[in-house]
Structure formats: C-alpha cells, structure tokens
Amino acid sequence: MMELWITAWIISVISAGGAWFFARQAGLRLMETMVFVSIFFPAPLFIAMGGGNSFVYAYDLMAPLAVGLTLRRWNKVPPMAKQVAGWLLAGVGLVPWLVVFFLADRESVLYTGISFYRLVGAMAVMCLMAVEAGRLEERSAGLLRAVGWMSIVLVVATVLQSHGWINSNVFYSVGREDSLEENDSMRYITAGLFRGSIGIIGALGWVSFLAQCQAGGWRGAFAFLGGAAGGLLIILCGSKTSLLAAMVTTVAGRLLFGSRLQRLWKKLAVVVVGLVAVAGVYLYAKDEIYFSYTLGVLGLSDESLDTFNYRQERWQEATDLLQEDPKIVMGVSTPFGSERGMAYFHNEYIGLFMSGGLWSAGGYFVGLFLLARALFRHRRRASTNAVFGGLTFLVSLIQGASVNHMAPGIFFGCTVFMATCAYGLGLGHASLETETPLSTAPEAEEAHDAPATDVLDGVRA
C-alpha cells in the first residue's frame, strides 16, 4: 500500500510542478500560484491511513488561503462572479448540509460537510481567478497549458501502469491489494483518482486544446499535444460520459464560438485520426474486450450501454422515492442515510434535488443560469479565457447528468476546482466587457464593427 501511495505522489508532484511553471510564466503571484498548483496535485495526502476520511487533498489545505486571498481582493471580484458563487454555495452546499444535518445520520452530515467546505474553496478559487484574469488579461491563457500538461502526465502514467512497471491505483486498491490482478481494467486508473475524475480531467484537457486552436508555434503544438492526451485519457479510463461530452462540446463550441474556432477543423482532424489509429490499432490489440466495451457506445452497443442503463435505474429509484415521500420536494425529508449519499443517484441534478428539494435545485440552476449568461454573452469577441470557460461549462453540464459537475464530494474535488478555475478565467473577461460603456444600439454597433465571419457565426449560433 505504501508503494501505491508514494507512486501516486510522484505522479502528482510532476503534474503540480508543470502547473507551477505555467502559473509563474503567466504572471500569477506567489500565493495565488500556491492555490492554483494545489488543484493539480490529485493524489490524496493521507490515504495510507485507510478509510473514507483519509481522502484529504492538497487543495483542502489551500482552501482557507484561497478564501483569505479572495476576501482581501473582494472589491475587485466581478459582481457576476459574486452572484454565481452565492447561488451555487446556497444550492449545492448550504441547503443540502442543513437538510442532512437535521434529517440524516452523522456520517452523511460529515460527508456533506466536507463537500460544503470544498465548495467554499472552489467558489473562492473562481472569484480569485476572475480577479487575476482581469489583471493578466490574455497572459492568463497560459494557465490553460497546466490542464494539458496534467493530461499528458496521466497518459504517460497510465501507459506505464498498464505494462505493470508502476502501480498508483490508490483509490481502487484500498483494502484490496490484488485489485489489478482481479480486474484488468483497473490498471488504467492512476494517481489515486476515481475513474470518472480521470475522464473529466481528460475532457478538460480536450477543451483547453479547442480554446487554444488559434495559437501558433510551440504554444499551438503544446495545446495540440495536450488535447490529444486528453482525448486518449478519456479512452484509457473508459469514461463513456466524458467521451460523449467531449464530442458534443466540440460541435456545440464550434457553433457558439465560430470566429474563435474557425481554425479548428484541420487540427481537429489530425488529432481524431491520431486517436483512432492509437485506439483502433495499438490499444484494441492490447486489450480488445476493454476498449470494445468503452468505444462500443459510439455504435450503440448494448453491452457498452449497460452502465447508462444502470444510471437510469438509479434515476427511476429517485422517482419512486418521490412518489413514496413527496415531502422530499420541499426539503423537509431526505432519502439519505448510511446506504445513500448525494452521488448515489448518478446524476448531480437529481442528487441535489433529493438532498434539499426545490431550495437546493433552485439555487443550483439559478447559479448555472447566471454563469452561462456571463460566459456566453460576448462569445463573438471572446478571449481564449472566455472560450475555455464556456467550453468547460458545456462539457461539465453534460457530465453532471451522469457523473459530477459542481458537488465536490469525497472523490471529485480536484475536477470541481479545475472547472471553477476555468469559470473564473471566463468571468474575469466578461467583467471587463460589461464595464465598457455600451451605446444605445450595442448589437447593431457590434455587427457593424465585427468581421463578416463573426456576423455569420453569430447568426448560426
């Protein structure tokens, strides 16, 4: 077990080291860099002690620092970021914790409290990044390269682990040292990350490539490599939700950010051909059953769709519970207990509704609406940061219907912090736009000043 723990730490140090380099290169101050880097250290710190409560991560220790830095810069935080943070904190954190505190068992209160604590840190990170994005402007786009770097590191670690040269499968190996021998698919899970977490990180690596499709030189080459690694990571971990989310987001992103992604198709074609070659030839020959199961979802294979059917059963169970106890809708009753948690229903929207009724789901959706409006409002003249934030929103919105989006929980904190960091970068740009005085006919002036491709893309969007 100690060997697993140390190997996961080494992978995390390499990933966090790259994040430190890109953060400093982009111009982040030392304290903000420490907060940013902690997100890219995915391995739990105290897993060697065993048990769910030992899943303490580096960003858990940095959350108070993020809150302190945000409060010191509170007057510089964009108003929209404050509104989004308030609604999400209420809907995703405070209301569920209060309901569980009064109605559920002590273990549920503990885990919901941990989620609330991490959400406070995530919202602080979002607000902090919004301030820094406004200060650094386009230089802060360099922070996106930390996401691509993490995907590259995890792909290398996964390949090494699949050959049996290393083993960092901390999460799935807790209490069962022989898990890799019993289940071959587990050898593709690294750094103590949950399968769904790896898929989400891969999807973020993919959308960081999409957001940087206009970059040239070594920056463009690195974005290309990071995007390819993100796509490969999704295939390796077997997350079908992330696979579908990345595909849908690519198409939707092209429609929404047409002028920014107009150079996408050539690079995208090369990446897709490369991924097909690697997955269809090398990986398929290496483990035919595993990758047929993962990629079979593209051909609507019944076997590959089994996991989605399992999720549907959980969603149906939620419907049955609501019929048995309608008070759940008003947040005065909860199905949570030792056998269920917020992630039990395999759908964040349903899980939040079951945890706090209309009060929880209402706050959550208001927060998402405000966030979406800010990220997409100026999409025709969006910066790289804003495109990254918008694409992250799209991919996370889809993943929330099956895996996770904003509720950190025990195993998804790293990905929530990464997503909120992207939102902060996007909101920082949005705040600069909204502070610019607008004429009485902003849309007409925008159409007049914009290139022809922007106008056509706006119509298509």
* pLDDT value of position 290: 63
* pLDDT value of position 371: 96
Q: Which residue has better confidence, 447 or 77? A: 77
Structural domain span for residue 373 = 2-194+322-460
Mean pLDDT of 37-65: 84
* pLDDT value of position 1: 58
For residue 313, with 0-12 CB atoms within 10 Å meaning exposed, 13-18 middle and 19 or more buried, which class applies? exposed
Q: How far apart are CA 395 and CA 213, in angstroms?
A: 17
Is residue 254, in this structure, part of any structural domain at all?
Answer: no
Confidence class of residue 188 from pLDDT cuts 50, 70 and 90? confident
* pLDDT value of position 303: 54
pLDDT at 296 over 80: no
Domain total of the chain: 1
Is residue 257, in this structure, part of any structural domain at all?
Answer: no
Confidence class of residue 157 from pLDDT cuts 50, 70 and 90? very high
pTM score of the predicted model: 0.86
pLDDT at 114 over 80: yes
Is residue 250, in this structure, part of any structural domain at all?
Answer: no
* pLDDT value of position 398: 93
Is residue 82, in this structure, part of any structural domain at all?
Answer: yes
Q: Quick one: how far is CA 81 from the chain centroid?
A: 18
Confidence class of residue 37 from pLDDT cuts 50, 70 and 90? very high
Least confident of 262-266, 316-320, 355-359: 262-266
Is residue 429, in this structure, part of any structural domain at all?
Answer: yes
Mean pLDDT of 152-172: 85
Confidence class of residue 444 from pLDDT cuts 50, 70 and 90? very low
Q: How far apart are CA 431 and CA 164, in angstroms?
A: 49
Is residue 236, in this structure, part of any structural domain at all?
Answer: no
Contact assessment for residue 248 and residue 391, using Cβ atoms and an 8 Å cutoff:
no
Is residue 315, in this structure, part of any structural domain at all?
Answer: no
Is residue 403, in this structure, part of any structural domain at all?
Answer: yes
Q: How far apart are CA 249 and CA 210, in angstroms?
A: 10
pLDDT at 83 over 70: yes
Contact assessment for residue 70 and residue 86, using Cβ atoms and an 8 Å cutoff:
no
Least confident of 200-214, 266-280, 294-308, 376-390: 294-308
Confidence class of residue 262 from pLDDT cuts 50, 70 and 90? confident
